[in-house]
A and B are shown apart, each in its own frame.
Chain A
Amino acid sequence: MANPVETIGSASARIARLAAIRVVLCAIAPALTAIALGLLLEPIGEVTWEQYGYSLAPERADRLSLALVGAGVVVLLIGLVMALRAYRRAHDFVAAAAELDERLECNQEIMTLATLVDPSSPDAGRARRTPLFPVLWRRAIALFGGMDIRQEFKLEVGEPLKRSSILVGVVALAMVLATLGLVRAPTPENREAAKLRAIAEEIAKTGGSDDDKALADTIREAADALENPKLPAEEKMKRLEDAMRQANRAAEKRNNSESGKNQAAGKSSAQGGKGSGKSSGQGNSSGTGSGQGKSESGSGQAMSGNNAGSGKGGGGNNSGKNPNGNSSAKNSQNNQGKPDEQNIKLQDELAKAEAQVETANPQNPSPDSKPGDDKSQGGGANKPGDKSDENSGSRLDPNKAGNIPKAGANGDRNMPSAGGNPQNNRDMGSNLGDTHLGEMPTSTNAQRFLKPGEKGTKVDIKDARYVMFRLPGAPSSGSGGKTVLDTDRPTATTAYVNAPLAPTSDDAPPDERQLVPPRYRDMIH
C-alpha cells in the first residue's frame, strides 16, 4: 500500500528533475549551435572563398567566432542556472499534488490532502484536518494504487527541443547576418595566396616525392605569409623567393632526370635561343630556357655581365615571339609534360605574388629590386611608367613577373631582338605561359589630342569621339528692346574632353570620326 505522502514526495522530486532537464534541453541546443558555428566560422569562410570567391574579414571573423563561442558558453551557463531555479520551483509538494490531481482527474482531492500533510508545514496542516480526513486519506491511497511515478511523468525530449529550435534559428540567423556583414571581396594578395595554395595542393597530389611535398609546404607558407598583414613586405618577399628557388630546383631536377630524352629538343631550343638577343644557349640545357649570357645594362648603369636571369634567359622562352625559335620551345614544353606546366604556373603565380607585394609597398621597395642587384630574380610586376626593368639586369628565369619589356624610351633594349619587327614583341600564343604575367604594360602618357592652347589657339578636333563645349550666353538686349551685339560675351573655358584610349585616327571607323557641326566650330577655342 503506497503512502500518499511518499508518493506525492517522489512525484515532486521527479517533476523537479524533469523541469530542470527540460530547461537544460531548451538551452543546450542554441548554446551548442552557437559554439559550433563559432568554431566552424573559419571553415565556413574558406568555403565562401572557394565556392563564391568571397572571404570573411579575418580579424572580424575571429572576433565573431569568439563572440559566438562566448555566447554559447554564456547561454549554457544561463541554462544551468535556470535549470537550478526550475528544479527549486518545481520541487513543490502541493504543486506536485496538483499535477497528480490533473492526471488522475480527482477534483483536487490529492491537492487538499497535500495541503493537510505537507511536510514543510506539518502543524498548519494538522490544524486544518477534520473528522473527514481519514476518508480523504483512504481515497488517496485508492487513487495511487498501482501508480508508477516514472511512467506517469516521462521525460519528453521533443517539446523542449522544438521550443529551443526557435532560439537556434535566431542564433543561426544572427550568425548568417554577421557573416554577410563580414564578407568582403578578396584582396589581390588573397587571390594570389589562394592560387598558390591550389597549386601547392596540386603538387602535393600529383608529385609523390618528398621534394614535392616540401615544395608544397613552402608554397603554402609563402601563401600564408602573403596574406598575413602583419608581416613586413621584406619577409613576404623572402618567403616567396624561397618558394621560387625551391620551385626552380625542383624543375632543374626534373629536367636533369629527363635530359636524356630531351637532349635533341634542348639543342633545338638552344638554337632558337641563339637567335634571340645576345644570349647563347648551351646545347645540353633544358628547353625552359635556362642559359647563360651577357646582359646589357639599362640606362647606362653598370651591370654585371655574366648574370643568370630572366632577362637573358628570356631569349629562350621568348623565342615564342620569334618565329625562328618558336618550334623549339614548344617541343621542349611538350616533352616535359604536366609537371613543367605546373612549375611554370607556379613560377608565374609566385612572380605575380611578388609583384603584388611590391605594388602594395611602393614606399619600401624590396632591396632585391635595387638597380644592379644581381639577386634580383623575382622582381615585382612593373607598374605603368615604371622603368625598373631597365635596371634589373640579367635574370635567370624568363617567366618571372616584371620581366616584360615596357613601352618607353629604353624599353626596347631589354626586349629580345626578334628580327627587329615590333610586331614580334606581342605574345603570339606561346605555351610557355603567360609571359606578360597579366600585367600588360600600359603605354606612356601619350596624349593624342592637344590640350587647349598647347600649340596655338586652334585645336584640331578631328577624330574626337565627342566634344564638350559651353555655349555662349544669349545676346543681351538693351532697355529699349533693341538687339545689340554682345562683344563681351563669355567664352568657353572647357573646350573639349577627350575620351581616353580612343582608337587611332587611321584605324578608327568612319562612324567614330564624329565631326563637329560647322556652325559650332568657331565657338571652340
Chain B
Amino acid sequence: MGAAPQQISPDQRVADFRKIFSRAESEVARVIVGHREVVRKLLTALFCGGHILIEGVPGLGKTLMVKAASETLGLSFKRIQFTPDLMPSDIIGTQVLTEAEGHREFQFKEGPIFAHMVLGDEINRATPKTQSAVLEAMEEHQVTVFGTTYVLEPPYIVLATQNPIELEGTYPLPEAQMDRFIFKVVMGSPKPDELREILSRTTGVAQNKIQPLFEPARAPEAIENLKALVREVMVAEPLERYIISVIGGCTPGGPGAIPEVSQYLRFGPSPRGAQALILCSKVNALLAGRVSVGYEDIDDAIVPCLRHRLLLNFQAEAESVSAESILEQVIKRLKKPRT
C-alpha cells in the first residue's frame, strides 16, 4: 500500500483506493459516532484535493472528527479557533527577530496553517481580512509573508466550521469565498442511540485507539498517489455535457435554467462548481469499483457540491425555499444525454 503507481497494476490501485477509503471510514467511526456521510465527504474532499465547510452547532464532534481523520491517515493536524480579534499573522505566521551566533535576524515563524489538515473553527467569527488570509492559502496552497512565499506541503485540506447560531458579531463568508470549498456539509444532532453510544464511549474507562493507515513519513505520498488515481478516472463526453447542463440549469438566465432557478436565485455556481462535481463524481465511481463516471455518481455529488454555491434571493428566503430543493428539481428535470 502506498507504493509507486507505476509498479502496481491499475486494478490493484483501484482496489487499494477502495480499501483505504473504507478503512479510514471505519477508523474514524471508532471515535465518531454517526455522521458517516460527513466523514465520507471529508475523505472525499481530501482525495479530491478540496476543502470542506462544515456547518453545525458546537459540541457535535467536529474537531474530534478532523483530528481522528488526520490521525488515521497519518497526517499533521492543527486547529485554529477564529475570533474577531484574530489577525492574519496569527494564522499564517510572522517574522520573529531571533539572535543566533552573535547576530540578530528575522526568522519566519510558521502559523497553524502549516499542517496537512487544518481545522478553522467558527471561521465566520474572524474578520474578513483574516478570513481572506486563510482562503488565499486554501486556493494557492502557499502563503506569502514579507515578500517570501512559503509552500504548504501537500496534501493540504482546510476544514472550516460555521456556527449557524449566535450570528451577532460574525462575518458571514462572502460568496466568492464560499465557492472555494468543495463541499458544504451540515452536521445534525446525533440520534438517541448514537447519543447513548457517544456517552458510553466518552464517559467510560475504555478508550478507542485509532490505528493509522500510513506511517506519518509516507502518508503524504500515499495520499497524493490516491489523489492522482482519482484524476485518472475517465469521464465520457456526454457526462461532461450533463455536468455543464447542470451548471447552466442552476444559473439564472443560463441555458436550460428551470423556472424555479430564475425565480429564487440571484447567482448560480461558478466553474469551480463543475470541477467539484467531476472530482467528487470520480471518487464516487472509484468507491463503486468503477474507473469511469456514471450519471448516478454525478447526481450523488450535485447537492453537496453545489448547495453552497447557489445564492438565494429575498423571495426564496421569504418562502423558505432551500438551495437543496432547487437542486433536486434541476436533477429531476434535466435530461441525461446519450450521445
Interface on A for B, CB 8 Å cutoff?
A: 92, 94-95, 98-99, 107-109, 111-116, 128-136, 138-139
Provide 26 A-B residue pairs closer than 8 Å at the C-beta atoms, listed in order of the A residue: A94-B236, A94-B339, A99-B338, A107-B290, A107-B294, A108-B236, A108-B238, A108-B295, A109-B292, A112-B292, A113-B292, A115-B237, A129-B234, A130-B233, A130-B234, A131-B5, A132-B10, A132-B233, A132-B291, A134-B10, A135-B11, A135-B14, A135-B291, A136-B291, A136-B292, A138-B11
Say how far B337's CB is from chain A's closest CB, in angstroms: 9
Pick from B239, B290, B292, B293 the residue with the most CB of A within 10 Å: B292
Q: Which of B223-259 contact A (CB under 8 A)?
A: 229, 232-239
Which B residues are CB-close (under 8 A) to A113? 292
Which B residues are CB-close (under 8 A) to A138? 11
B238 partner, pick from A115, A132, A134, beta carbons under 8 A: A115
**Are A109 and B294 also in contact (CB < 8 A) when A131-B10, A132-B234 are?**
yes
Cβ contact within 8 Å between A107 and B296: yes
* CA of A114 to CA of B236, assembled, Å: 8
**Are A116 and B234 also in contact (CB < 8 A) when A94-B339, A98-B338 are?**
yes
* CA of A92 to CA of B293, assembled, Å: 21
Q: What are the 3 tightest A-B residue pairs by CB atom distance, in nearest-first order?
A: A107-B294, A112-B292, A112-B236
Cβ contact within 8 Å between A111 and B238: yes
* CA of A425 to CA of B253, assembled, Å: 99
* CA of A129 to CA of B236, assembled, Å: 10
* CA of A114 to CA of B339, assembled, Å: 10
Cβ contact within 8 Å between B234 and A111: no
Cβ contact within 8 Å between B238 and A98: yes
Cβ contact within 8 Å between B14 and A112: no
**Are A133 and B234 also in contact (CB < 8 A) when A107-B295, A108-B295 are?**
yes
Flag whether B334 is at the interface (Cβ < 8 A): no
* CA of A57 to CA of B306, assembled, Å: 71
Identify 16 new A-B residue pairs, CB closer than 8 A, beyond the known A94-B338, A135-B291: A94-B238, A98-B339, A107-B294, A107-B295, A107-B296, A107-B297, A108-B238, A108-B239, A108-B294, A109-B294, A111-B238, A112-B235, A116-B236, A129-B234, A132-B10, A136-B292
Say how far A203's CB is from chain B's closest CB, in angstroms: 71
**CB nearest to A113 among chain B residues:** B292
A95 partner, pick from B234, B235, B338, beta carbons under 8 A: B338
A92 partner, pick from B5, B236, B296, B339, beta carbons under 8 A: B339
B234 partner, pick from A99, A107, A112, beta carbons under 8 A: A112
Pick from A111, A129, A134 the residue with the most CB of B within 10 Å: A111
Say how far B231's CB is from chain A's closest CB, in angstroms: 8
* CA of A94 to CA of B339, assembled, Å: 6
* CA of A136 to CA of B291, assembled, Å: 6
**Are A95 and B293 also in contact (CB < 8 A) when A115-B238, A132-B10 are?**
no
Say how far A166's CB is from chain B's closest CB, in angstroms: 25
Which B residues are CB-close (under 8 A) to A133? 234, 291
Say how far A36's CB is from chain B's closest CB, in angstroms: 38
